[in-house]
Structure formats: C-alpha cells, structure tokens
Amino acid sequence: MADIVEAKGLVKRYGKVVALDGLDLTVPQGTVLGLLGPNGAGKTTLVSILATLLQPDEGTANVAGFDVCNDPEEVRKRIGLSGQFAAVDEHLTGFENLDMVGRLYRKGRKASRDRARELLEVFDLAEAGDRTAKTYSGGMRRRLDLAGALVAEPPVLFLDEPTSGLDPRSRTGLWGVIRDLVARGTTLLLTTQYLEEADQLADDVVVIDHGHAIAHGTPAELKTSVGGERIEVTVRETGDLPSAQTILTGFASGEISIDEQRGTLIAPIAGGVPTLTKALHEFEASKIDLFDVGLRRPTLDDVFLTLTGHVAEEAVSEEADGQKSEEMAG
C-alpha cells in the first residue's frame, strides 16, 4: 500500500528546546498509526507540522501527495484535525459549530446543514445539537471537535490525544466511533499517552521520546518486548510460596520471578482474565491463602523502562505540548 503520510528528518526547535530531532515516519493508506509518548515527547509538534500549522526547521513531509510546506492549501483540503484540546466555539451551538466548519470547507448552505445534522446524529449529539457548546460535558466537546474534523470526510485524519482527560466510559465510546471511521477507509494518525489506546486502535505503533522515534512495531510486538501481561500473587504465608509457584508454572508463558520477602510471585501469562480465573480456582482448591492478587498489563511506563531504561518523565515542557497538557490538567 502507498504511504499517504510520509515524514523525513523532521526537526523543530523552540528556542533551545528541541521538540523534534530528525523524526522519520510513514503511514500506509487505510491504516492506523499510533504515536506513543509522554508529554513533551514531540507528539503535538509532529501533528501540527503534518496539519500545516507549523513549519519544520528541517526535513520534509508529504500528506495525501502534497508537500506540507509548499502546498499547504492542498493538504488542508484532504485532512481533518482534532486536538487534545477541544477547539469548539462554546458560544455557538453544536449545530452552528459544524455548520460553520462546513461553510468554511465551501459546502453550500444546504449541504453544510445536512452534514452538520448527520454528524450530530452519528456522534450522539442530536439532542444537544441546539444547545451552546458551553453546556456540554468534556466527552461531548471532544465528540463535537472530532465531528468538526470529519465535516469534509477527509481521507487523512490526525487525532492528537483524542481521549486524554476523559472518563473511561466516554473513552470507550470515542474508541467505537474511531473504529467505525477506520473501517470506512480513513487513514489515521493518532497520538496517545496510553499503551492500551494504541493497542485498541492502532495497526502500528511508533514510540517517541525527546523528539526521536525509539521503537516501531505492532502493538503485539511492543507488548511482547516489554513482557506482555502478567499475574501478580502475594501469599499470606511464605511457606506457601513453593506450591503457589507450582500452580503458576501451569499458566506461565515465561519465567516466574519470586520476591521471598514480600511473598510475591510474578508470572507472565497469555489469555488475560480467564487465565487468572482458572489460576484462582487452583489456589482455592489447594487452600493457599492469598493476601493480594492482580492481573497487570504493560503500561507506557513499562515500555519506556524497557526501551530507554528510564521511566516516562515529563520532558522539559516544549511550548506546544507543555502548555496544552497543563491546561488539560487544570
């Protein structure tokens, strides 16, 4: 498949801070690329360059066949952008927001209105469509912002941390919407701080840190590289450790590590909750008294720890990423 997004050697500096440090990236048409990294890693800067909002200091980027620096107008006709920071006008209603965007895409009056109503329906905002966006919850604003990015049905979509700051229910809902879009052939570049989100949505993942790509692979490959999911069991009596180990050996997909002092066993497994349930039945049958038990999935921190040897730290806030994440937190 042809690459619909292609970036080569992108460099962007803000004063002394290097936000992007020679980043290369490709997204084949019709696929989803997850860009995973902590705050300040350069994710927003990259998306901004691809969406023609910023000019790179060095390097080139092509989106949908056009150079972002030389033909920004052509690029803009073919992309949709939704930021981590919902860019909706709170004094306009949901409908007015979308209609305005439609008119700015040169849709006629009727086509623009019809599209606005259609999108409100799709994003479950039909009832709230004639209320001002000021009255919307965080999740509703995000959906409206995403709807705004889809007004012109762009072939390429950039979503910058679409779910950060959302509660789990809104997050799951938004994932469903994004999956539908992708199923209809949209190419998506998605930035996220959550490994789980990349796992849910992306075909490929690029991990970035301090403006560099430090790893590239499918979510499964990444998870394998950091050890995948595991069961953590703490027994009440350390005397039970050997028999507990025997039970876990039956489920483990790799070496079991033992912390004798805490009475904790960590076993890499496959199969998630069903495997955990089976293991718990055996513990019960063997009358082993457990103090604590849990299923752990690798997080961004684990990925970083494995890839870089350090945990994902908040980088010295680069202008774009830093400002926005602070406001999100506020």
Residues engaged in binding another protein (CB under 8 A)? 14, 44-45, 47-48, 51-55, 73, 76-77, 79, 81, 83, 85-92, 96, 100-101, 103-106, 132, 145, 148, 319-320, 323-324
Residue 240 or 318 with smaller CB distance to another protein: 318
Residue 263 or 322 with smaller CB distance to another protein: 322
Smallest distance, Å, CB 45 to another protein? 6
Q: Which of 129, 131, 135, 132 is nearest to 116 (CA)?
A: 129
Smallest distance, Å, CB 27 to another protein? 17
Token pair for 119: 């999108």
Smallest distance, Å, CB 146 to another protein? 12
Residue 76 or 171 with smaller CB distance to another protein: 76
In eight-state DSSP terms, residue 315 is P
Q: Helix/strand/coil (H, E, C) string of 199-211?
A: HHHCCEEEEEECC
Smallest distance, Å, CB 293 to another protein? 44
CA distance 258 to 266: 7
71: helix, strand or coil: coil
Residue 39 or 275 with smaller CB distance to another protein: 39
Location of structure tokens 């042809």: 2
Smallest distance, Å, CB 193 to another protein? 17
CA distance 299 to 212: 20
Query: How many C-alpha atoms does 106 have within 13 Å on its Cβ side?
Result: 2
Residues 21, 210 contacting (CB under 8 angstroms): yes
Residue 105 or 194 with smaller CB distance to another protein: 105
